[in-house]
Amino acid sequence: MKISIGNDHAGPEYKKAIVDMLKSKGHEVTNYGTDTTDSVDYPDFGHPVALDVENGKADFGIVICGSGNGINMTVNKHQGIRSALCWTKEIAALARQHNNANIISIPARFTAIHQAVEMVETFLNTDFEGGRHQNRVNKIACS
C-alpha cells in the first residue's frame, strides 16, 4: 500500500513511530512532514498529502497536528478527500466503515503515540461497508 504522511511541529515523534510501523509491514511511505519541533504552518504539510491521495499517488493519507483540526480542515478542502479527525481506534474504524475516509487526522496533543499507531493500523485494516453508506458518501463532495 502507498501512504502519504504530513505533520507540523506537534507531530514529528508521532510520524516517526507511524512510519516505522508502516515500513515494518511493507508499506511505501511518502513523507511530507517536518522532522523538528520548530514552528511551521500545517497547511504546507497537509496539501501535498491531500494531492497524493486525490491524484491516486497514494492509497491513503495520514496527517498530524496539535489538535488535528487545522490540518484536517486543510485536507478536506480538496474535493476528492474525506478526512476524519480520530482520537480512538473505534472512531478510526467507523470513519472507514461508514464514511470511506481516505485520510486520517491525528491530534498529537490529545493522544499518546501508541494510540496514534493503533488508530492508523485500524484505519488501514478496515474496509468501507458500502451499502446504505455509499449513498451518503456520494452526497459529501461539492461539485
Measured distance CA(85)–CA(24) in Å, rounded: 25
Closest CA to 6 of 54, 59, 43: 43
Spatial separation of the C-alpha atoms in residues 132 and 143, rounded to whole Å = 22
Residues identified as active-site: 65, 98
Q: Decide: residue 119, CB within 10 A, 0-12 exposed, 13-18 middle, 19+ buried.
A: buried
Residue 103's alpha-carbon distances to 59, 99, 140, in angstroms, are 9, 11, 15
